[in-house]
Structures are given as structure tokens and as C-alpha cells.
Structure 1
Amino acid sequence: MDPERVTHTGPDGRHLLGPVNAAKTPRWAGVGTFARLPRTDQVEHTDIAVLGIPFDAGVSYRSGASFGPNHVRESSRLLRPFNPAQSASPFAACQVADAGDLIGNPFDIAEAIESIAAGAAELMDGGTKMVSVGGDHTIALPLLRAHHALHGPVALLHFDAHLDTWDTYFGAEYTHGTPFRRAHEEGLIDPESIMHVGTRGPLYGTQDLDDDARFGFGIVSSADVMRRGVDAVVSLLRDKVGNRPLYVSLDIDVLDPAHAPGTGTPEAGGMTSREVLEILRGLRGLNIVGCDVVEVSPAYDHAELTGIAAAHVVYELITVMALGPQAEPGGPAYGISRNLYGSAAED
């Protein structure tokens, strides 16, 4: 039996099918789609699809991110349809649906990359945008290939503890530590508008930074976020991206292990959940054409901290994408004199 759902009339007059009505079906019941949204086969057209990519054959340390998509779905059951931080109802602005999982061969990385790129391109045919949930960071390369085919070289904001611009691991060119070097080599990203955010931790040597700068990347470290503050970082990122088509790739290990222990390569000194969510809200009005959230490994996720953080990251990205590039920047996400729920704030 299909449970009762919240329905809306969208801005263009379309009938939009929303999440399961939590007043009729308790949140712990039913099939675990993202935010209890409908599946893509239950709607006529999907504007934004949440796509699971359970692939982790490219990891260099702790495996388990192949279990990430369903963990994030289960962690999203408590999400509600109104986003007060952005004063928006994303599921009423456009049709958002869960596209299920896209499978890549777990024993053949090259074949998996090809099939992920092809599957993503097929899903986007007809105008659907994607928020992909991994899986390890290897999947960013085929996703960037699919987006490049539609938009040409894209701007990139890469939230991560690590650079992921290394050359090879044990001679392998395609791993979760190499996707953005390959993306640069293939011309998938715009070298004038690419940034790492939240990087930290030891490197193999200064050559890592030299190579990264040669590819065009700027770096906002986690320490920069702490010292300069969210608003200054948002301003810098917006200036860097401009109105270019933007792809956002977020490794959950950009968060400190205190906020996201369930990941494969944790590093101390990371960003807080609040900082990451506020920066994502600050991207409101940019032309985000696609994004991914990766490296959630539930086997290490005590108290579901990582899954909950990842679910909220996906929710904020969906909201920004649903509002679209026509949305006014700023708004309730930052720089206002009211609290998030509409009452006057004390001076």
C-alpha cells in the first residue's frame, strides 16, 4: 500500500508529489527513500533526483562507503518539508524524487566509471538535475564527465579534508584520491573557478601543493574557515564561481571526526556541521547544475552522526538547487536581523 503523501501545486502549475505525510505514517515506517520522497517511477517528471551510487572500489584506507547511500536515506527520515534556514519549501518548488541506485562493477574500476557516466547522462536527459550520494570519491570523475557533456567545463567547489589531486596509488590512475587531477587533465573543470574548501592534514610533500596550484585550484582550509568566518568564505567562493555552471562535490570527511566519524579517511581539525551547512546556504542563487556527497561509511558511524550530517547536506543542496539561480543571494541563511523562525531578534 502506498502511504498518503503531501502534495503541492508547483510555481508552474504542475502537480508535485511530496514526502510521505508524517501525520499519517510514522517516520520509522515504510520504504526508506531520501526524505521519504516518491521514487522517480512514481512521478511524471523529476526536476531534481537523489541518486545513490554504492561504489567504493577506489578507496585507499577504510572501505564501506558502498553502504553509504542507503544509510543516508535512513538518516533522512526526520527531514521536514520546510527549510527555515532558507525560508523555502524545496519539495513544493519543484519535483524532487529518489532515483534509486546506479550500479558500477565493483571489480572493475574503469568499467564502473564508464557505466556511472553513462547512467548519469541518461538520468539527466530531459533536464533532470542530480544530487548523487556515494560511494567513494572516485564517482566524481564520471559525474563530471556527464555534466561536462551538457555544460562544458564547470566551476567546481570541492569540500574535502584532502586535495584529491594526486596522480596514482600503487600505479592506479582511478581512485578516490585522484578524480580532480583526472578531471583537470580531461578539461572537465574550469581552471579559473575551482576551489577546495575545508582541506587540512599532512601531505606527502610540497609537490602536492605545487601540482594543485598548477591545476588552478585555490584553497580555503578548515583553519581559514575558523579564522575568517563563514560570511567571508561565502563571499570569496561566490566571487570565484560567478555565474558559471557550478558542480559541488562534498566528501563528508570535510567535517571533523567529532561530527562525522563514519568515513574512510578521517582527519582531525575539521569543520563543524554548522559551518558546512551555512556555507552551502550561502551558495543560494548560484547556478548549481549538479552535486555529490560521498565517503559516508556507516560501519564507523556511531550514533548515526555522519548519516544525519550527510542527509542535512543533501537537503540544503536540494533547497539551493530548487530555488535556482534566480534566487536572491543571502536571505535567511546569513546576514539577517531575524531569527530563523520569524520573530524579531534581540539587539
Structure 2
Amino acid sequence: MMRLPTQPTAAGLDACFIGVPMDIGTSNRPGTRLGPRQIRDESRMLRPFNMATGAAPYEHLQVADIGDVPINTFDLKKSVGIIETFYDDVLATGAIPLTLGGDHTLTWPILKAIRKVHGPVALIHIDAHADVNEHMFGETVAHGCPFRRAWEDDCLLNDKVFQIGLRGTGYAPQDFDWGRDRGWKVVQAEGCWHRSLVPLMARIREMIGDTPVYLSFDIDALDPGFAPGTGTVEPGGLSTWQAFEIVRGCAGLNLVGCDLVEVSPPYDTTGNTALIGANLLFEMLCALPGVGRRDITLTNLEF
């Protein structure tokens, strides 16, 4: 990832990139098992200095790519257990995991591992879908269920859960209202149209404070005009600049883990979806605790 060194474990690292090449939890178009390798490939031109925020993460953090979780590609439930155990080992080193997905099922076992270290955490979840289904086609483990399962496992602080970008058709109002009924803050995509999300993120930072927080970014939160390479596309989504505002707006929070999920290379003929995913993962790295920032002057249109 980003031409970084590789090593077999997270020992000695402040942060690490991890791939979870999985799509056995998908319900529509498959292909996310190929996401980590494509994101890594499209990350090769990323440079070490963030020209917008002044962040130079490699000056402050030891970072490496520790490869992929060895999931069982034939058994989703076994894979969930494998992922949780893998992240137990990563978190025991003190490293902050940055995950390349893979379908969104993976966030549930990661949050279970994080709970053992940090207790229930705040959550910033960017997605077209709420992913709080009780079941999908009779299955309770799938990419539409991770946050329902995480809530059941007491992984989340209800008053500090934020879902941004939800949209599209549904089966009933409960598709989005289930979280609201538990005190979660749901910002539908329509509320983001034609707006900067800088004020929203300022409010979220104020509400989260220094509580440990997990950031989960499903690439289908973006409008398919920006990121068509995903399994369950919905029109009317966020723009790339709004995505940057969200992730950059997490700087200053006590981030304990991040993921970027649902990139499906078979539907990403130009590579742009994976490229955007790689850039968002770099922005997540730049937002981690301990990353210093230099003063940057952004020239506006009036000079």
C-alpha cells in the first residue's frame, strides 16, 4: 500500500494497512474480494505530504502494510471469527488498523475486537445504506447487517453514532429509522446536497469529544458518477470533495480504527473507484492521532 514497507505483523507500528479480500457477504454484484489488491495498485502514485492539510504522516508514525487477513473464502461465519482473531493480535500491539475491504460484513468483527481494548466506541459511518438489517435472505451475517450485530454486541455508544449519506429506495421507514430510534444521528444524502460538510464535521467532533471513535467508509456513499465500481450503487450520493471534508474533519478525534470497503474492481473499468478509495485511506492516515500538521495557506478565488 502506497509503496510502504511490508511486514508480517503489526509489531512496532503505530498504524498498519490490512486487506480483507472478501465478497461472500455481498447481496448484489460481487467482486469486493479483489478490492484490496486494486486499491493497493492504484495507491502507487500517492505521495507522502498532504498538500491540503499539511499532514506528513510518515514523519510522525511508523506505518507498514501487513498483508491480508487469511479468510475462509467458502464460509462467511468462519471468516468473521478469523477476522476478529486477526484484529485481536493487531490491536494487542497498539497499532491502529486501516482496513482495505472487502465487503462491509468485515466491520462487525473488527468492532468486536476493538471493544475488547477500548470498550464501546463512537462511530462515524459513511454509506448509502444503513446496514442495520436484522437479516438478509434469512442470514444474520451479511454486508447489510454489520451495525445491527455490532449494536447487539454492545460495541457502539448510541449517543455518538453518526450515519452520513444514506439514500435510495427502501422497504419501510425503519430502514433508516432503526438507528434514529436508538439515538443515532442519521444525515441522509439529500441533506448534504449542494453543501459543504465542514460545519457538520465540526458539530460531530464537538459531540464525540475525546471518546474513542471508529470510522467506516463504504465507497457506495459516493455518487456512482464518481465511484461506479461497487456492488450496490445508488444515485444521488456524495461528491469526492464532500468525502474529503468528512475524513479530514475527523482530524483531532481519537480514531482507533478506520476502514474503506465495497470497492469492486470488475465494475471499476477506469480504476477511478479504487483510486478514490486509496486517496481516502491516505486521508484517514493523515487524520490519525499523533500526525502533526504544518500551516498551509489555501489561496481562494479572491487574491
TM-score (norm 2): 0.95
| Aligned residue number for residue 238 of structure 1 | 205
Q: Distance in 2 between matches of 1:43 and 1:176?
A: 26
1:266 aligned onto 2:239? no
Q: Distance in 2 between matches of 1:194 and 1:240?
A: 10
How far is the alpha carbon of 1:41 from its aligned partner? 4.4
| Aligned residue number for residue 302 of structure 2 | 346
Structure 1 unaligned segments of length 5 or more: list them. 1-33, 333-337
Q: Distance in 1 between matches of 2:141 and 2:192?
A: 30
Give CA-to-partner distance per residue, 1:124-150, whole Å, 9 cap, x none.
212111001110000000000011110
Q: Distance in 2 between matches of 1:315 and 1:210?
A: 32
Q: Which moved more, 1:227-236 or 1:88-97?
A: 227-236
Indicate which of 298, 304, 315 corresponds to 2:282: 315
Alignment of 1:110-129 (within 5 A): 110-129=77-96
1:289 aligned onto 2:252? no
Q: Distance in 2 between matches of 1:272 and 1:250?
A: 13
| Aligned residue number for residue 145 of structure 1 | 112
Alignment of 1:1-347 (within 5 A): 34-41=1-8, 45-321=12-288, 323=290, 338-339=297-298, 346-347=302-303
Amino acid at match of 2:81: E
Q: Distance in 2 between matches of 1:297 and 1:276?
A: 18
How far is the alpha carbon of 1:40 from its aligned partner? 2.3
SS of the equivalent of 2:256 reads: strand
> Structure 2 vs 1, CA of residues 322 and 207 (structure 1 numbering), >3 Å: closer, same or farther?
closer
Amino acid at match of 1:141: W
Q: Which has the higher contact order (CA 8 A, sep 6+)?
A: 2
| Structure 1 contact 63–297 (Cα < 8 Å) conserved | yes
Amino acid at match of 2:76: I
Give CA-to-partner distance per residue, 1:68-108, whole Å, 9 cap, x none.
00100001011001111110211111111001000211222
Q: Which moved more, 1:180-189 or 1:228-237?
A: 228-237
SS of the equivalent of 1:293 reads: strand
Q: How many residues align?
A: 303
> Structure 2 vs 1, CA of residues 292 and 42 (structure 1 numbering), >3 Å: closer, same or farther?
closer
How far is the alpha carbon of 1:112 from its aligned partner? 0.7
| Structure 1 contact 251–295 (Cα < 8 Å) conserved | yes
Q: Distance in 1 between matches of 2:200 and 2:151?
A: 24
Amino acid at match of 2:118: H
The structure with the largest alpha-carbon Rg is 1
| Structure 1 contact 225–233 (Cα < 8 Å) conserved | no
TM-score (norm 1): 0.83
How far is the alpha carbon of 1:230 from its aligned partner? 1.6
Give CA-to-partner distance per residue, 1:17-51, whole Å, 9 cap, x none.
xxxxxxxxxxxxxxxxx100001249972111000
| Structure 2 contact 39–278 (Cα < 8 Å) conserved | yes
Percent identity over paired residues: 38
> Structure 2 vs 1, CA of residues 119 and 191 (structure 1 numbering), >3 Å: closer, same or farther?
same
Structure 2 unaligned segments of length 5 or more: list them. none
| Structure 1 contact 76–308 (Cα < 8 Å) conserved | yes
How far is the alpha carbon of 1:213 from its aligned partner? 1.6
Q: Distance in 1 between matches of 2:99 and 2:288?
A: 13
